[in-house]
Amino acid sequence: MQQFYIPSLCATSTDVFFDRDESRHLAKVLRKNIGDIVSITNGLGYRFTAELTQVDSKTCVAVIVRCEKIASDPYHLHIFIAPTKNKDRIEWFVEKATEIGVHAITPIICQRSERKTLNTDRLRKVSIAAMKQSMGAHAPVIHPISDFTSALDRFDGVAYIAHCEDSPKKKINHDVISKKSISIFIGPEGDFTALEIQTALDANVMAISLGKKRLRTETAGISACHSIALLFD
């Protein structure tokens, strides 16, 4: 079943009014009829089952027949990640991380960053589409782009930095992930500088290993998301 996204819905809502684009999709693409059942989320943890009462390419209307509160994940994962030079790769990361289970994403500008601007509104649209496709009910928060130093003042809970320097690192396991609020910093294609790594360590951010191989930025981000999700599965 395809899921729709209407952020204005709340637990007490009774009727659903689809916008023009969604109405056209329902009527022309999915060929829905009056009486058909559709699934909707508001991205804030609620999933609604609704019955279509009006189907038109300009306006579709439904009545909510069930409202379900979807439990949130038993952890909160915030990924701070440098935008990739190819914007398609960072959008791919946002899409896949949303499917796997990320709760907040902050793009960070580092000393070796090749891309220093980013359309965060576009990233939000990508994350919403991924949430709908994966039948999720919690939309991740896409924060505005930040410089690396400022981001170190805003991490949640216990924080880790993944880098390629040959220095002691912890592995992602139950001993390391002892708190349910986790932040992970992922650097640009050229990696964090030695100064950035030391600055993070001085801010009580621990170095962490994502394996022996050198990973692309977006791959490292996905590896981190998947490793954390598995720990709490």
Q: Are the C-beta atoms of 139 and 221 separated by less than 8 Å? A: no
Do 218 and 188 fall within a single domain?
yes
- pLDDT attached to residue 135: 95
Q: What is the CATH number of the domain that holds 226?
A: 3.40.1280.10
Pair (181, 211) in one structural domain: yes
Which residues span the domain enclosing 184?
Answer: 76-231
8-state DSSP, 103: S
Tell me how far apart the alpha carbons of residues 88 and 99 are, in angstroms, rounded to a whole number. Answer: 17
Number of domains the chain is built from: 2
For each successive 10 residues of the chain (233 residues), what is the average pLDDT? 92 95 93 96 97 95 97 94 95 97 97 92 96 96 96 91 90 77 94 96 94 92 94 84
Same domain, 205 and 130: yes
- Residue 28 gets which letter from DSSP? I
From 18, 53, 69, the end of a domain falls on: 69
210 and 106 together in one domain:
yes
Are 64 and 80 in a shared domain?
Answer: no
pTM of the model: 0.93
CATH (domain of 20): 2.40.240.20
Q: 12, 35, 69 — which closes off a domain?
A: 69
The DSSP code sequence of 158-222 is: EEEEE--SSS--EESSTTT--SSEEEEEE--TT---HHHHHHHHHTTPEEEE--SS---HHHHHH
pLDDT at position 166 is: 87
Within this chain, do residues 50 and 157 fall inside the same structural domain, yes or no? no
